[in-house]
Amino acid sequence: GDSVTQMEGPVTLSEEAFLTINCTYTATGYPSLFWYVQYPGEGLQLLLKATKADDKGSNKGFEATYRKETTSFHLEKGSVQVSDSAVYFCALNWSTGGSYIPTFGRGTSLIVHP
Amino acid sequence: DSGVTQTPKHLITATGQRVTLRCSPRSGDLSVYWYQQSLDQGLQFLIQYYNGEERAKGNILERFSAQQFPDLHSELNLSSLELGDSALYFCASSVDPPTGTVFPHGYTFGSGTRLTVV
């Protein structure tokens, strides 16, 4: 079935460093792709999304581009802040019986030090 | 506040017991999804309901069941609980697009119920 693989963490960075979290997917069709963020003690929040090849999703300084040729959707941010410390999940939708089910990667923990 | 409400936030119970987790979706959303999040398994999809009917099933154990009521709130019932059932249980809701169209929306998650089986 469709699946998502993302880099294992934790990723530890200093404030203002550049961030990349890798995500690749396996899908039979052309799924929508998402990044979610989970802050400690909270549920997942949608960070950004892309629905077709070459689309770039962006929000709060984070960006990710839907690359069909490399089946990737890597998350980037030019300058991280301590407040970005959280767990980041890459996800895609797979279609079954007329419904769309989100499938998530294992999550990547980001720790940003002052 | 995401608009998805889950109760209770924390639950501690003994092995062999039965519990019910409740979820109220965001206003206007007809679909409800249940997920189990544990350290070793990550986020596992359990089951989806759409407008009161079961739509899709994932890795849900036979000891677990769910339903969605006419007012669209959903309940997840966990019975004969085992230590390994200890996890965070999330509910999410969404607006479903017409069949066959691209799905542009994300999903809205509740803050979860932390279940501890002792």
Chains A and B form CB pairs within 8 A to the count of 65
Residue numbers in B near A42 (CB within 8 A): 111
pLDDT of residue A18: 98
Q: Smallest CA–CA separation between B55 and chain A, in Å? A: 7
Q: Is A79 exposed, middle or buried (0-12, 13-18, 19+ CB in 10 A)?
A: exposed
Residues of A in contact with B96 (CB under 8 A): 99-100
Q: pLDDT-derived band of residue B1, with 50, 70 and 90 as boundaries? A: confident
Which of B4, B42, B110 lies closest to A106 in CB terms? B42
Partner A, chain B 59-88, Cβ-Cβ below 8 Å: none
- pLDDT tens readout for residues B32-49: 999 999 877 788 999 999
Query: Is the minimum CB–CB distance between A57 and chain B shorter than 8 Å?
Result: no
**Confidence grade of residue A2 (pLDDT, cut at 50, 70, 90):** confident
Q: Are strands A75-77 and A19-21 parallel, antiparallel or unpaired?
A: antiparallel
pLDDT, position B82: 97
pLDDT over 70, % of chain B: 92
- The type of residue at A96 is T
Interface test with chain A among B91, B102, B108, B113, by most A beta carbons within 10 Å: B102
Residue B73's pLDDT is: 96
Give residues with Cβ within 8 angstroms of A102, minimum separation 6. Answer: A34, A91, A92, A93, B33, B45, B92, B107
Q: Tell me the CA distances in angstroms from A36 to A45, A102, B116, one per residue in order.
A: 5, 11, 25
Residue B37: predicted pLDDT: 92
Q: What pLDDT, on a 0 to 100 scale, did the predictor assign at position A98?
A: 64
> Distance, in angstroms, between B105 CA and closest chain A CA?
8
The rounded mean pLDDT for chain B is 89
Q: Residue B101's pLDDT band (boundaries 50, 70, 90)?
A: very low
Model confidence at A47, in pLDDT bands (50, 70, 90)? very high
Q: Which of A36, A49, A97 sits opposite B56 (nearest CB)?
A: A97
Give tens-digit pLDDT for B71-95: 999 999 999 999 999 999 999 998 7
Q: Can you give the length of chain A in residues?
A: 114
B103 reaches A (C-beta below 8 A): yes
DSSP secondary structure of chain A: --EEEE--S-EEEETT--EEE-EEEE-SS---EEEEEE-TTS-EEEEEEE-STT-EEEETTEEEE-BTTTTB--EEESS--GGG-EEEEEEEEEEETTEEEEEE---EEEEEE-
Chain B residues in contact with A52 (beta carbon < 8 A):
102
Chain-chain contact of B110 with A43 (C-beta, under 8 angstroms): yes
